[in-house]
Amino acid sequence: MNILLVYPKYPVTYWGFQYALKFISKKASFPPLGLLTVAGMLPDDVEKRLVDLNVSTLKDTDILWADYVFISAMVVQKESVREVLQRCQNLGVKTVAGGPLFTAEPDAFNEVDHLILNEGELTLPLFLKDLANGNPARIYTSDQWADLATTPNPVWNLIDQKQYSTMNIQYSRGCPFNCEFCNITSLYGRIPRTKSATQLITELNALYDSGWRGGVFFVDDNFIGNKHKLLHEVLPALITWMEAKQHPFAFLTETSINLADDDELMCQMVKAGFDTVFIGIETPNEASLLECNKVQNKNRDLIACVKKIQHFGLQVHGGFIVGFDSDNAGIFDSLINFIQQSGIVAAMVGLLNAPKGTGLYQRLASEGRLVEGFSGDNTDFSMNFIPKMERSLLVNGYNKIVDTIYSPQRYYERVRVFLKEYKPCKTTAIPVTFNQVLAFLKSMIRLGVFGRERVYYWRLILWSLFKRPDVFPLAVTLSIYGFHFRKVFKKSALEI
Ligand code: SF4
């Protein structure tokens, strides 16, 4: 049997880093980890190929080669999903679909032949068994959570790693918190499920043996959901492994803000090779934090927490939201000031949306405030509910935030605020690559000669070169990120 795994295209988004990737001659940020893991669950005698539409094209001959086309996708990839499904239908090839998009809205995909919903470790084996017996059903679901010990290694040889800037890996699923707008707990539960240190090291060895050196993203919903296991089992093993392998990877992940409460945890993460964390800060407005049940962010000095994390050697990328019922017209300036003071360079500010399966979705449905329009990209000015604040005021205020924080002056100011606070760890030993040198040269031309940020760019480059050479590569990277963020938000603003 031939199975073609297809990863649909995602649009230009904040997280896609498409404009930045051009500087380092890469086509996508991350490979499709879900499909690579699904490939590991398929029987050995199945022929497998993978086409990631973010790095290559899907030919009719690829589809016709397959007995089944497997698709996995997030909501933001919906448009490309429809196209792929249509092509498979036209060519008479059966489709099998799973992942967050299909689990959230199975009824919206009548054209799919087989839906493998919820966690693949539980539902895919049922489908494969029925398929082998010649009677596969249309839908497979489960109300259980998978044991991650059963998750196989991703099949890395199905992709060309050179097309991606960063590899990814998963250590845990689920999150102990329960923010009202977040669908993680409905998809993966509130009790974090984790892999053992041995399993994680086996996966890292496989990634190492595949030849990869560089960034590795732990795609966990909240990496520190089980702090005890991290501190006593996983991070010590990771530190030993990284030392033995001479620090081949730099890790980034997602955590909650209570990381700042644990000095030992931050120390160990940095020692293990983590240099960046994404944290959902959401808002400086206490009433909005209460409204969305973001209890871990309440009653604390959020800026001090961010600075503490930066001081330990971790760059903080932050997620922010406007459009809560408790927001008033003052939120826009207050958020701008917060972001500038915090030195969160990569600040993803989005309009509140209500994904299916969340408490927010239920509440808004009961209040009769839901509307169409959930795109999965909360930076594209879309909203799927009627906000309390007048919508034009909200959209204008949102526009003002992104226009301000990504203006060259304010952006580069913020980079300096961050770099002054940041104490990078000196243990990572990833050599400078030709692509990185090329990226610097491209940045000199694109940003330093033609960019409207050229004055600020050169000030930062010269400052870091002479005053903080230890952060010079990061200063170049952040300059390139700034270019991407400006272009993404400009594009979104033009499209509304
Ligand atoms: S902390 Fe993050 S992952 Fe956890 S429920 Fe809140 S938004 Fe979701």
Q: Report pLDDT digits (tens) over 221-259.
A: 999 999 999 999 999 999 999 999 999 999 999 999 999
By percentage, how much of the chain surpasses pLDDT 70?
98
pLDDT of 475 strictly over 90: yes
Is 256 touching ligand 1 by the criterion CB < 6 Å?
yes
pLDDT for 429 equals: 58
Is the beta carbon of 177 within 6 A of some atom in ligand 1?
Answer: yes
| CB of 222 sitting under 6 A from ligand 1 | yes
Our answer on whether the CB atom of 221 is closer than 6 Å to any ligand 1 atom is yes
The number of angstroms, rounded, from the C-alpha of 434 to the middle of its chain's C-alpha atoms is 26
Structure tokens at 326: 């408790």
Q: Give the torsion sign (CA, 237, 217, 404, 483).
A: positive
Q: Report whether 417 contacts 340 (CB < 8 A).
A: yes
Both tokens assigned to 160: 């060309």
| Side-by-side strand order, sheet with 274-282 | 166-169, 214-218, 249-255, 274-282, 315-322, 347-351
What DSSP string runs through 130-175?
HHHTT---SEE--SSPPPGGGPPPP-GGGS-GGGBSEEEE--EE--
pLDDT at residue 379, rounded to an integer:
81
CA dihedral 384, 78, 11, 117 (to 10 degrees): 100
- What whole-number distance in Å separates Cα of residue 108 and Cα of residue 175? 27
Tell me what the mean pLDDT of segment 20-25 comes to. Answer: 94
What's the whole-number mean pLDDT along residues 369-395? 92
How far away, in angstroms, is 278 Cα from ligand 1 center?
11
Architecture field, domain 2-140: 3-Layer(aba) Sandwich (3.40)
Residues of the chain with CATH 3.80.30.20: 165-421
Q: Give yes or no for residue 179 CB within 6 A of ligand 1.
A: yes
Read off the pLDDT of each residue in 403-416 and give the average, rounded to a whole number.
Answer: 96
pLDDT 10s digits, 39-69: 999 999 999 999 999 999 999 999 999 999 9
Task: Return the pLDDT at 426.
Answer: 64
- Reading the block at residue 437, the tokens are 């040198």
Tens digits of residue pLDDT in 326-338: 999 999 999 999 9
Asked whether the beta carbons of 4 and 49 are under 8 A apart, the reply is yes
Instruction: Report how far ligand 1's centroid is from the alpha carbon of 254 (Å).
Output: 10
Closest to 398 in 3D by CA, of 383, 413, 420: 383
The C-alpha atoms of residue 39 and residue 201 are separated, in whole angstroms, by 20
Quick one: pLDDT at residue 124? 98
Separation CA 305–CA 354 (nearest Å): 28
Q: Name the amino acid, one letter, at 468.
A: R
Q: Given ligand 1 and candidates 222, 257, 279, which is best to mutate, with the most ligand atoms within 8 Å of its CB? A: 222
- Give me ligand 1 centre to Cα 179, in Å: 6
- As to burial, measured by CB atoms within 10 angstroms (0-12 exposed, 13-18 middle, 19+ buried), residue 344 is buried
Q: Is the CB of 182 under 6 A from ligand 1?
A: yes
Residue minimizing CA distance to atom 3 of ligand 1: 221
Mean pLDDT of 358-382: 92
CATH number for region 165-421 = 3.80.30.20
117-164: per-residue pLDDT in tens?
Answer: 999 999 999 999 999 999 999 999 999 999 999 999 999 999 999 999
Residue whose pair of structure tokens reads 């399966």 in the numeric block: 357
Given a contact cutoff of 8 angstroms between Cβ atoms, the answer to whether 394 and 351 are in contact is yes
**Does residue 389 have its Cβ closer than 6 Å to ligand 1?**
no
Q: Judge whether residue 377 has pLDDT over 90.
A: no
Q: Mean pLDDT over residues 79-99, rounded?
A: 98
Mean pLDDT of 92-109: 96
Q: Which of 172, 177, 226, 353 to mutate to test the pocket of ligand 1 (most atoms within 8 A of CB)?
A: 177
Please name the residue whose Cα sits nearest to atom 6 of ligand 1: 179
d(CA 257, CA 294): 10
CA 280 – ligand 1 centroid, Å? 7
Residue 428 has pLDDT above 60, yes or no: no
Q: In the chain, list all ranges with CATH 3.40.50.280.
A: 2-140
For ligand 1, whether the C-beta of 81 sits within 6 Å is no
Residue 378 banded pLDDT, cuts 50, 70, 90: confident
Quickly count: other Cβ atoms within 10 Å of residue 208's Cβ. 16
Q: Is 197 exposed, middle or buried (0-12, 13-18, 19+ CB in 10 A)?
A: buried
256 C-alpha to ligand 1 centroid (Å): 7
